[in-house]
Homo-oligomer: A and B are copies of this chain.
Amino acid sequence: MKYLITGAHGFVGSYLMRAIAQREPAATIVTVDREGPGARLDLLDLDAFSALVARERPNYLVHLASLSSVGASWHSPVASFMNNTNIFLNVLEAVRRESPATRVLSVGSSEEYGVVERSELPLRETNPLRPVSPYAVARVAQEHLGNVYVRGFGLDIVATRSFNHVGPGQSDLFVISALGKQFAELAKGKRTKLEIGTTSVVRDFLDVRDVVRAYCDLLARGERGEVYNVCSGRGVSLTEVIAMFEAISGVHPEVVTDRARVRPVENELVVGSNDKIAQALGWHPQHSLEDSLRAVYDYWSARC
Q: Which residues of A contact B (CB under 8 A)?
A: 46, 74, 77-78, 81-82, 85-86, 89-90, 92-93, 128, 131-134, 136-138, 140-141, 144-145, 147-148, 151-153, 263-265
Q: B85, A152: Cβ atoms under 8 Å?
A: no
CA distance A77 to B97 in the complex (A): 12
CA distance A162 to B81 in the complex (A): 24
CA distance A78 to B74 in the complex (A): 24
Cross-chain pairs A/B with CB under 8 angstroms, 13 sampled: A77-B93, A78-B90, A78-B93, A85-B85, A131-B147, A131-B148, A132-B148, A132-B152, A134-B152, A137-B141, A137-B144, A140-B140, A140-B141
Closest CB-CB distance, A262 to chain B, in whole Å?
Answer: 12
Residues of B within 8 A of A153 (CB): 264
Q: B145, A134: Cβ atoms under 8 Å?
A: yes
- 14 further contact pairs, Cβ within 8 A, besides A141-B141, A152-B263: A77-B93, A77-B148, A78-B89, A81-B86, A81-B89, A82-B86, A128-B128, A131-B144, A131-B148, A137-B144, A137-B148, A140-B140, A152-B265, A153-B264
Residues of B within 8 A of A132 (CB): 147-148, 151-152
CA distance A140 to B109 in the complex (A): 17
Q: A77-B93, A78-B93 are in contact. Are A148 and B133 (CB under 8 A)?
A: yes
Count chain B CB atoms within 10 A of each CB in A78, A89, A132, A137 and give the residue with the most.
A137
CA distance A248 to B137 in the complex (A): 46
Residues of B within 8 A of A46 (CB): 78
Which 10 pairs show the lowest CB-CB distances between chains A and B?
Answer: A141-B141, A152-B264, A137-B144, A152-B265, A151-B265, A131-B144, A137-B145, A78-B93, A134-B148, A81-B89
CA distance A93 to B76 in the complex (A): 10
Closest CB-CB distance, A180 to chain B, in whole Å?
Answer: 28
Closest CB-CB distance, A300 to chain B, in whole Å?
Answer: 31
CA distance A98 to B147 in the complex (A): 36
Q: A152, B133: Cβ atoms under 8 Å?
A: yes
Closest CB-CB distance, A115 to chain B, in whole Å?
Answer: 9
Q: A264, B151: Cβ atoms under 8 Å?
A: yes
CA distance A81 to B90 in the complex (A): 11
Residues of B within 8 A of A138 (CB): 141
Closest CB-CB distance, A287 to chain B, in whole Å?
Answer: 34
Residues of B within 8 A of A93 (CB): 77-78
Closest CB-CB distance, A136 to chain B, in whole Å?
Answer: 8
CA distance A133 to B151 in the complex (A): 9
Residues of B within 8 A of A86 (CB): 81-82, 86
Closest CB-CB distance, A274 to chain B, in whole Å?
Answer: 24
Give A153's nearest chain B residue, CB to CB.
B264
